[in-house]
Amino acid sequence: MGMDERKFKILQAIIDDYILTAVPVGSRTISKKYDMGLSSATIRNEMSDLEELGYLDQPHVSAGRVPSAKAYRLYVDQLLRSGRIQSDSEAAVRAHFLGRMRQMEDVIDHAAQVLSSLTNYTAVVLTPSAPQPHIRTLQLVPVSSTSALVVIVTDSGIVRDTVIRVSDQLDSDTLYAISKTLTQELAGHTLQEAVSLLPGISSRMQDNERLLQGLSGFFQESAGSAVPAHVAIGGTSNMLSYPEYSDMEKARSFLSLMETRDKLAAIIAQQGEMAFTVRIGPETGVPEMADCSIVTATYSTHAGQQGTIGVIGPTRMQYSRVLSILGTMGHQLSELFGDE
Amino acid sequence: MGMDERKFKILQAIIDDYILTAVPVGSRTISKKYDMGLSSATIRNEMSDLEELGYLDQPHVSAGRVPSAKAYRLYVDQLLRSGRIQSDSEAAVRAHFLGRMRQMEDVIDHAAQVLSSLTNYTAVVLTPSAPQPHIRTLQLVPVSSTSALVVIVTDSGIVRDTVIRVSDQLDSDTLYAISKTLTQELAGHTLQEAVSLLPGISSRMQDNERLLQGLSGFFQESAGSAVPAHVAIGGTSNMLSYPEYSDMEKARSFLSLMETRDKLAAIIAQQGEMAFTVRIGPETGVPEMADCSIVTATYSTHAGQQGTIGVIGPTRMQYSRVLSILGTMGHQLSELFGDE
DNA sequence: AGTTAGCACTCGTTCGAGGTGAGTGCTAAC
DNA sequence: GTTAGCACTCACCTCGAACGAGTGCTAACT
């Protein structure tokens, strides 16, 4: 007994139906709603086979069948192989980007909003995680008499900043001079390298212990954080509309996971070389998401950095729709960040 | 029939009990658990009076009584009048701030986290909304050959930044020179004023149409946004643990409100001159929060700007606990931002 | 050999009846 | 003014019956 054409068609019908209704689907439903010229009895036999093959689960003996993770896997693989994820949703996505937005974070936030409202699932958007960003410019901006803002521009175009304390003898011009020196010395180096270079520079400059200490700390912190600069989340409340989350405890643990952004980022960021990644149920590796699926795609910036966008939904997710929207969104973001 | 001492004590007991259990409380419970030397029958008579006075509601004829919004109002007023909100929770709050944190936004985010985990409700923290921030320093940092980052430091210590396009003839030194000129001209002025000053300055400088246009746009945008710079939210999932939110639809609409940060900020920011504001149920003015209470407090920065911290929970909120924690947290934040 | 009709069987769901108990309001006695 | 007692209400739980969607199997049909 193998997986023939007909079995696959039936399986597909079951998945389609289940995605829409979230109700175990019976043989009669298939034979009537999806006219495949077969009686319910025949479908029944096939379904029995499909169950034996591991594609269907039966919640109770007298309930309909429910697609297993394996079934979704097959379904999605098929979807991806067929390649043609039509992007009729392109217009919708594009329309949302009309407003000019400048900063990456704004775009990211907005993208998450759009993504969740288009899909009705939860959306997560990560800024590119530069594995080792190289410093391009460093500048100190006086904030008060005793503190300055450090702005670092890296080659990934991402700006990091923090306020550090400085001795109160430093006026704007001095700070600028220091900025120039530091930029000259550090440009092209990674943050990691900068940490070890700093002491050498310090000796050649009039001592600004405090400033350099602050800088060093900041570098280390930034270099150490593998976490992408920003995590935007949208539509967490969408999950509550799905019956699979009518169990409060489940909903709570899901939401609580969404609140710990770094954990979430780590989960989403597991993205390979592929254009799309689809992780179904247990494949997510996160117990709280045992019956969620995560679909991610990437976008890239002019610096070749990769960012990730993802959608989290129930395993009976509208995969084809989600893939299509993610694809379009990814393109849009790449365009937006790529043309600088 | 008026509100005498004894009635008040009984009412207080009812509120205390209901806050803990979320179950309508009966006369017997009061006479037994809170020994006031009265039989249930007497309590019953008093409760009947209290209901007539509008302090209690009865869900069904044979259920216990539930405090009304009016009752909470009385309770809270009493709490505030008594003044002594003891801050035994000070230690807990303080411990959480040991780690050094630099940027305001980090602090804000963290504060929201701490606040929600201490109270088990939802916490919201707003950065101060400077009504008209005055420019202190303005600096341009080159990002790429055709774009620069504008950093504005205002007297409220808040840094705003954005990336704008510049013509490609501008190197770092030129940008710094321009920055100096602009700082000289604009320091002490509000963003609003800066918009009208820009054209005048432009004429005295070598024309950098593009740059000045970008700046002008940014000023206008920043000046226009009455919305505080940052809204941090924590513990939205906490709400799901309370039985009043076992209704999914309610939970959904609540969460969805939490997701629209600007709406939320507008709601929270309605803070008068008082140290504390407590809005109970309908007093919030938001239909989605008909059975929530919002408690807010303020903190202030060295510039005299006021930020807001708030806790959102069910009407049967542990007011005294929340007020105490908010008070402590407010102090901590004020200290943190005030000593700069 | 594959397909279908028919039928017995399973089991979750719905619905109503009856019992239970927490709580009230009233009255009469202290 | 307080309390004991009692009748009454009504949400909630439980149980069982009826229901029905769905299955698996067998036998007949093409």
- Classify residue B257: in a domain, yes or no: yes
Last residue within a domain, chosen from A224, A259, A277: A224
Residue B248 dihedral angles phi and psi, to the nearest 5° = -55, -40
**In whole angstroms, what is the distance from residue B151 CA to residue B327 CA?**
33
Both B220 and B244 in one domain: the answer is: no
User: What total number of domains does chain A contain?
Assistant: 3
B98 touches strand C (CB under 7 A): no
* More confidently predicted of B120 and B99: B120
- Classify residue B74: in a domain, yes or no: no
- Classify residue A76: in a domain, yes or no: no
Both A263 and A122 in one domain: the answer is: yes
**In whole angstroms, what is the distance from residue A173 CA to residue B173 CA?**
11
Residue B333 confidence (pLDDT): 87
Residues of B with Cβ-Cβ distance to A248 under 8 angstroms: 240, 246
- Name the token pair of B286: 């938001």
Range of the domain at B58: 5-67
- Classify residue A75: in a domain, yes or no: no
Both B153 and B275 in one domain: the answer is: no
- Name the token pair of A284: 């997510």
Residue-wise DSSP of A221-256 = HHHH--S-S-EEEE-GGGGGGSGGG-SHHHHHHHHH
B24 touches strand C (CB under 7 A): yes
**In whole angstroms, what is the distance from residue A200 CA to residue A61 CA?**
74
Residues of B with Cβ-Cβ distance to A155 under 8 angstroms: none
A42 touches strand D (CB under 7 A): no
pLDDT(A149) > 80: no
- Classify residue B76: in a domain, yes or no: no
pLDDT tens-digit readout, A251-298:
999 999 999 988 999 999 876 677 899 999 999 999 989 889 999 999
**In whole angstroms, what is the distance from residue B28 CA to residue B14 CA?**
11
Residue B127 confidence (pLDDT): 84
* More confidently predicted of A247 and B160: A247
- Classify residue B78: in a domain, yes or no: no
Residue A255 confidence (pLDDT): 94
pLDDT tens-digit readout, A11-65:
999 999 999 999 999 999 999 998 888 999 999 999 999 999 999 999 888 889 9
Q: Can you tell me whether residue A271 is helix, strand or coil?
A: coil
Both B140 and B125 in one domain: the answer is: no
**The residue type at B306:** Q
Nucleotide nearest to A41 (CA to C1'): C4
- Classify residue B16: in a domain, yes or no: yes
B61 touches strand D (CB under 7 A): yes
Both B259 and B325 in one domain: the answer is: yes
Both A179 and A118 in one domain: the answer is: no
- Residue A207, domain CATH: 3.30.390.60
Both A113 and A38 in one domain: the answer is: no
Nucleotide nearest to B45 (CA to C1'): C25
Last residue within a domain, chosen from B157, B191, B224: B224
Both B24 and B42 in one domain: the answer is: yes
Q: Can you tell me whether residue A23 is helix, strand or coil?
A: coil
From the number of C-beta atoms within 10 Å of its C-beta (0-12, 13-18, 19+), residue B70 rates as middle
Residues above pLDDT 70, as percent of chain A: 82
Facing residues of B296 across strands?
A: B277, B310
Q: Is A149 on the interface with B (CB under 8 A)?
A: yes
The residue behind tokens 């989600």 is A322
- Residue B21, domain CATH: 1.10.10.10
B104-119 and B319-338 helices, crossing angle to 10° = 160
**In whole angstroms, what is the distance from residue A137 CA to residue B145 CA?**
12
- Name the token pair of B337: 């931002």
pLDDT tens-digit readout, B70-105:
999 999 998 888 765 565 555 555 555 533 344 677
Last residue within a domain, chosen from A19, A34, A67: A67
Q: Do A161 and B161 touch (CB under 8 A)?
A: yes
Q: Do B162 and A251 touch (CB under 8 A)?
A: no
Residue A161 confidence (pLDDT): 66
Are residues A17 and A33 in contact, defined by beta-carbon separation less than 8 angstroms? Answer: yes
Q: Do A103 and B157 touch (CB under 8 A)?
A: no
Q: Mean of the pLDDT values across residues A220-246?
A: 80
Are residues B18 and B66 in contact, defined by beta-carbon separation less than 8 angstroms? Answer: yes
Both A249 and A110 in one domain: the answer is: yes
- Name the token pair of B58: 């009865």
pLDDT tens-digit readout, B288-311:
898 899 999 999 877 677 889 999
| CA A24 centroid distance within chain | 30
- Classify residue A79: in a domain, yes or no: no
Q: Which of residues 100-119 of A touch B (CB under 8 A)?
A: 102-103
Residue B133 carries which DSSP code?
P
**The residue type at A124:** V
Residues above pLDDT 90, as percent of chain B: 40
- Residue B240, domain CATH: 3.30.450.40
Closest by CA to B46, choosing from B82, B93, B11, B12, is B11
Residue A39 confidence (pLDDT): 92
Mean pLDDT of chain A: 83
Residue B258 confidence (pLDDT): 95
Number of alpha carbons in the 13 Å side-chain half-sphere of residue B31: 14
Residue B247 dihedral angles phi and psi, to the nearest 5° = -75, 115
Residue A158 dihedral angles phi and psi, to the nearest 5° = -90, 135
pLDDT tens-digit readout, A177-219:
888 888 888 888 887 788 788 777 766 666 567 777 777 777 7
Of the spans A95-109, A227-241, B1-15, which averages the highest pLDDT? B1-15
pLDDT(A337) > 80: no
Closest by CA to A191, choosing from A214, A221, A170, is A221
Both A238 and A289 in one domain: the answer is: yes
Nucleotide nearest to A51 (CA to C1'): D23
Q: Outline where chain B has alpha helix (H).
A: 5-21, 27-33, 40-52, 69-82, 90-96, 104-119, 172-186, 191-204, 209-224, 248-259, 261-269, 319-338
